[in-house]
Amino acid sequence: MPSAHRRSATGTTRKLRAYDPDRTRKALIAQVEATADAAHRLTPEQRSLPSGLAGWDVHHLLVHLALQIDAVPKFLSGPEARARTAEVSLPRWALSNGDVAADLDARTRERAARTEDAPALIDAAVADLEPVLESAVREDLLVPGAFGAMRMLDFTVTRLVELVVHGDDLARATGVAVHLDRQALAGTVRVLADALAAKAPGSSVEVRVPPFAVVQCVEGPRHTRGTPPNVVETSPLTWVRLATGREEWTRACEDGAVAASGERADLGDLLPVLR
Model confidence, pTM: 0.93
pLDDT band at 226 (very low <50, low <70, confident <90, very high): low
Instruction: Flag whether pLDDT at 174 surpasses 90.
Output: yes
Instruction: Flag whether pLDDT at 274 surpasses 60.
Output: yes
Mode of pairing for the β-strands spanning 231-234 and 205-209: parallel
Predicted local confidence at residue 3, as pLDDT: 32
| Mean pLDDT computed over every residue of the chain | 93
Instruction: Flag whether pLDDT at 8 surpasses 50.
Output: no
Strand partners, 13: 7
pLDDT band at 14 (very low <50, low <70, confident <90, very high): low
